[in-house]
Chain A
Amino acid sequence: MQLKVEKLTHIYSEGLPFESLAMTDVSFTMEQGEFAALIGHTGSGKSTLIQHINGLLKPTSGHVYLDGVDVNEKSPEARALRRRIGLVFQYPEYQLFEETVLKDVCFGPKNLGLSEEEAEEVSREALALVGITGEKLERSPFNLSGGEKRRVAIAGVLAMDPELLILDEPTAGLDPRGHAEILDAVRRIREKKNMSIIMVSHNMDDVASLADRVLVLEDGRLIMDGSPREIFARGEELRAIGLEIPSAKDFMEKLAKMPALKEKGLEIDDGAITIDEAQEEILKLFGSKA
């Protein structure tokens, strides 16, 4: 599914004394299968943008098109397309309500009109994709660990078989293990399904290792749009608006600036944005002589 956001502007409380511009003239297009990370600090408009994509918020001006159809049209076609958007909110585990994990995940597919058996089948598949299997399916979702609950909640959206999955800070508040489990789940979803993914994140290391495109929002405007390498090469600009850059990139820049390297005539490529790339680059440079 192609997502096209065109000149999207949103004003909160329009006409009232406390009206505020939440989104100004945002345009971009995303093709099927792309993985975009949406970054920007709190209040930059990330939540406002993603709520427009499935029609939870209506633009003050501008349009959001899915496969060429305006999502805010009242047609059955637009309604059907909106259902192809899977939106996972922040702390999604707070939406769990059923007696068992499996029943909870079945809620979405059943709302789509699937029969009990069909719903269970797609739910089991979705749960397997996020790494929840076996006896856990019959447990109460409230008795799982934080990371597991979160994955069940993600499965609840995956089971609706969206073409575009939107994840709003999927790792917020988790411990390192829960964090790693979510990233693994996102990678598996990526491999097994040809889904487009938009991930809102504050963690630049995650963005660098997962996304193939980065959108940067600041004050409701889309100020950068490019590959992670391109975006993180603009470290100064990112820091200026209070954003971080991946630890690997930060380190490589520091290393490249060391005078001692120049004296030895060593030239290092500081473009690495993940720890794997940094490791490779450093070993290439120093390892061969060891």
Chain B
Amino acid sequence: MESIISVKDLRFAYEDEEGELQTVLDGVSLEIEKGSFVAMVGPNGSGKSTLAKNLNALLLPQSGKVYADGMDTSDDSLLWEIRRSVGMVFQNPDNQLVSAVVEDDIAFGPENIGVPPEEIRQRVDSALEAVGMSRFAKQAPHMLSGGQKQRIAIAGVLAMQPDVMVFDEPTAMLDPRGRGEIMAIIEQLHDAGKTVILITHFMEEAARADRIIVLKDGKIAADGTPREIYSMSEQLHGMKLELPFAVELARRLRAGGLDLPADILSEEELAEALCSLK
């Protein structure tokens, strides 16, 4: 296993309005394997977003270390290479597009890192194609739907050819259709070999990852495959986390006296399990 992100005893605190320090990350350590698809879940205030911003040096550890592809994020001279290699897509599709024309927006990242003009053109075209938005190259972003804008944002990051892509609640503001589009693209990127880190509130989305990390009060509360995580449904329920429908129904049915396996993950599995009861 080759790890591409390595977080060692990361601590982070914000000063609130009263000037008191609020601990957001309280000693987080983790390794993320190259090419994997990791979901990070946890209630608001659990530190997921702060952790994500530490991965590409948008925030720097107050203590502990973060390495992105072997580069220490607190090393100033590596800053731009780190941000290039760990790209980030944010929640609000409107507020991350810089230019009034789609293709110029996608060129923004490559232009910043000094890519030669002809190559920028190629990168922009292939990034647009990867997110299925080639038709919209000359349009103005504000005329597009939320899902389309978010695809442009993803293309803008892709054009910098990052190794890792961090998605900070990319579907929170989208309708079901837009949400489906974005999840499909995320899975495609993962299949194409990118390391994907998805921060989300939606357990159904997290279930599509290889690995789920549950954060609570700035600490890692659970870490495992979706199956391992959801077999702890009682604990997750106690943490006020939403469970995928099948997991939640199975939990309730077990509580109601049915003898169902603990690791049911999908509706199909639940239906099978019910049918094989006696």
Measuring CB to CB, which residues of chain A are less than 8 angstroms from any residue of chain B?
A: 41-43, 143, 145-146, 172-173, 175-178, 202, 242, 244, 247-248, 250-251, 254-255, 258, 260-261, 264, 275, 278-279, 282-283, 286-287, 289-290
Any chain A CB within 8 A of the CB of B43?
Answer: yes
**In B40-79, which residues have CB < 8 Å from any A CB?**
43-44
Any chain A CB within 8 A of the CB of B270?
Answer: yes
Q: Are B44 and A145 in contact (CB under 8 A)?
A: yes
Q: Are A287 and B240 in contact (CB under 8 A)?
A: no
Q: Name the segment of B82-90, B120-128, B242-250 touching the other chain.
A: B242-250
- Give which listed residue, B43, B172, B256, B276, contacts A173 with CB less than 8 A: B172
- Give which listed residue, B17, B172, B240, B256, contacts A177 with CB less than 8 A: B240
- Give which listed residue, A43, A175, A261, A278, contacts B275 with CB less than 8 A: A261
Knowing A244-B176, A279-B249, A279-B256, the reply to whether A177 touches B43 (Cβ < 8 A) is yes
A42→B145 CA distance, assembly (Å): 9
Q: How far is the CB of B240 from chain A (nearest CB, A)?
A: 6
Measuring CB to CB, which residues of chain B are less than 8 angstroms from any residue of chain A?
A: 17, 43-44, 145-146, 172-173, 175-178, 201, 240-242, 245-246, 248-249, 252-253, 256-259, 267-268, 270-272, 274-278
- Chain A neighbourhood of B268, CB < 8 A: 254
Q: How far is the CB of A256 from chain B (nearest CB, A)?
A: 9
Q: Are A287 and B257 in contact (CB under 8 A)?
A: yes
- Chain A neighbourhood of B275, CB < 8 A: 258, 260-261, 264
Number of A-B contacts (CB under 8 A): 84
Q: Are B258 and A286 in contact (CB under 8 A)?
A: yes
A interface SS class: helix
Knowing A42-B177, A242-B177, the reply to whether A176 touches B201 (Cβ < 8 A) is yes
Q: Are B44 and A146 in contact (CB under 8 A)?
A: yes
- Chain B neighbourhood of A250, CB < 8 A: 267
A254→B267 CA distance, assembly (Å): 8
- Chain B neighbourhood of A43, CB < 8 A: 145
- Give which listed residue, A41, A254, A287, contacts B271 with CB less than 8 A: A254
- Chain A neighbourhood of B277, CB < 8 A: 286, 290
- Chain A neighbourhood of B249, CB < 8 A: 248, 251, 275, 278-279, 282
Q: Are A173 and B240 in contact (CB under 8 A)?
A: no
- Give which listed residue, A177, A242, A258, A283, contacts B258 with CB less than 8 A: A283
- Chain A neighbourhood of B241, CB < 8 A: 176
- Give which listed residue, A143, A173, A177, A279, contacts B253 with CB less than 8 A: A279
Q: Are B256 and A283 in contact (CB under 8 A)?
A: yes
Q: Are A251 and B246 in contact (CB under 8 A)?
A: yes
- Chain B neighbourhood of A275, CB < 8 A: 245, 248-249, 252
Q: Are A283 and B253 in contact (CB under 8 A)?
A: yes
- Chain B neighbourhood of A242, CB < 8 A: 177
Q: Are B270 and A143 in contact (CB under 8 A)?
A: no
- Chain A neighbourhood of B272, CB < 8 A: 258, 260
- Chain B neighbourhood of A248, CB < 8 A: 245, 249
A202→B253 CA distance, assembly (Å): 27
A sample of 27 inter-chain contacts (CB < 8 A) reads A41-B176, A43-B145, A173-B173, A176-B43, A176-B201, A176-B240, A176-B241, A178-B44, A202-B175, A248-B249, A251-B249, A251-B267, A251-B271, A254-B267, A255-B271, A258-B274, A261-B275, A264-B275, A275-B245, A275-B252, A279-B253, A279-B256, A283-B257, A283-B258, A286-B274, A287-B257, A289-B278
A-B CB proximity, top 9 nearest: A260-B275, A247-B245, A176-B242, A175-B201, A283-B256, A255-B271, A173-B173, A175-B44, A251-B267
A255→B275 CA distance, assembly (Å): 8
- Chain A neighbourhood of B259, CB < 8 A: 290
- Chain B neighbourhood of A255, CB < 8 A: 271, 274
- Chain A neighbourhood of B257, CB < 8 A: 283, 287, 290
Q: How far is the CB of B15 from chain A (nearest CB, A)?
A: 14
Q: Are B201 and A287 in contact (CB under 8 A)?
A: no
- Chain B neighbourhood of A258, CB < 8 A: 271-272, 274-275
Closest residue of B by beta carbon distance from A266:
B275
Q: Are A251 and B270 in contact (CB under 8 A)?
A: yes
Q: How far is the CB of A206 from chain B (nearest CB, A)?
A: 12
A238→B175 CA distance, assembly (Å): 16
